[in-house]
Amino acid sequence: MKRFESKVVLVLGGNAGIGRATAEAFAREGARVVVAARREDQGVAVVQAIQKQGGTAKFLRADVAKEADIKAVIDGTVKEYGQLDVLFNNAGIEGKNGPIASLGASDFDETFGVNVRGTWLAMKHALPHLVKTKGTIVNNGSVVAEIGFPDFSIYSATKGAVHALTRATAMEFIPQGVRVNAVAPGPIETDMAARAFGGLESLRAITKQTVPTGGPGVVEDIAAAVLYLASPEARFVVGQVLVVDGGLTAH
């Protein structure tokens, strides 16, 4: 039997990168997957790819900066499949970055509105359903919440908040049988990382010197970690931030 047979998984920000890889991985393991994102064309493409491989998936459009969208996508998931077992809180933006003195309050509000408020709202609306299924939440954090990364003050702060939300919510809901954890990716080959490092080749060149494994990870590395945290094998893992960074933060 596949690990997520009969389970229903909602992937927020499932249209590309880590979200897409994780949605596809859950589907291969037997889950019925709902892909939610702002970009409908990309999200539909992910669903079609899953269906082509024999999986079950549905796309629902959602902007996590809007509470009504979050509630609608969670309610829509339960209406479609009758339950919710796993929430992967992956939707996020890098926002505007640069020297802290060059950033404005609107930059702060925009990035926190998606990365932190969106994560919090998704947990808030999903938890009543997850209590019923003794389900699990995996939030997407980042190593930049744990180490200093110049010119990324706002983004780093949002991910620090996600880690804190993860721990606090885990303690609040483990008595009701819901496990909450987070994954903290290091440098991964995604469009977002490429933008941050000035291109994919620059990302590879820099991480060749700074990451002990000799380069960036790939989206499948994070998908595997998310599936572990959501699986029965991680039943004793609660309120943790699993760092997946090729050893970057170990030295």
Domain at 56, CATH number = 3.40.50.720
Give residue for tokens 């809180």. Answer: 89
Q: Structurally, how many domains does the chain consist of?
A: 1
What is the pLDDT, as a whole number, of residue 75?
A: 97
Report the percent of the chain where pLDDT is more than 70.
100
35-93: pLDDT as tens digits: 999 999 999 999 999 999 999 999 999 999 999 999 999 999 999 999 999 999 999 99
With contact defined as beta carbons under 8 Å apart, do 194 and 200 qualify?
A: yes
Asked whether the beta carbons of 144 and 156 are under 8 A apart, the reply is yes
Beta bridge partners of 12: 36, 89
Q: Is 250 inside a domain boundary?
A: no
- Confidence grade of residue 190 (pLDDT, cut at 50, 70, 90): confident
Number of helices followed by number of strands (H, E) in the chain:
9, 7
Residue 76 domain flag:
yes
If one counts every other C-beta atom within 10 angstroms of the C-beta of residue 179, the result is 22
Which pTM does this prediction carry?
Answer: 0.96
Give the pLDDT confidence score for residue 177 in this predicted structure.
98
- Catalytically annotated residues: 155
Strand, coil or helix: what is 225?
A: helix
CB 16 within 8 A of CB 42: yes
Confirm whether 70 is domain-assigned: yes
Q: Is the pLDDT of residue 196 over 80?
A: no
In a domain, 34, yes or no: yes
- Residue written as tokens 């970690």? 225
> With contact defined as beta carbons under 8 Å apart, do 156 and 107 qualify?
no
For residue 191, the model assigns a pLDDT of 83
**Structural domain contains residue 150:** yes
- Give me the domain span that covers residue 73: 8-244
Once rounded to an integer, what is the mean pLDDT over residues 104-112? 96
Spacing of C-alpha 176 from chain mean position = 23
Residue 249 in domain: no
Mean pLDDT within 191-215:
86
Q: 179-188: per-residue pLDDT in tens? A: 999 999 999 9
> Side chain identity at 101, as an amino acid letter?
A
Span 138-148, average pLDDT: 95
How far is the C-alpha of 184 from the C-alpha of 126, rounded, in Å? 21
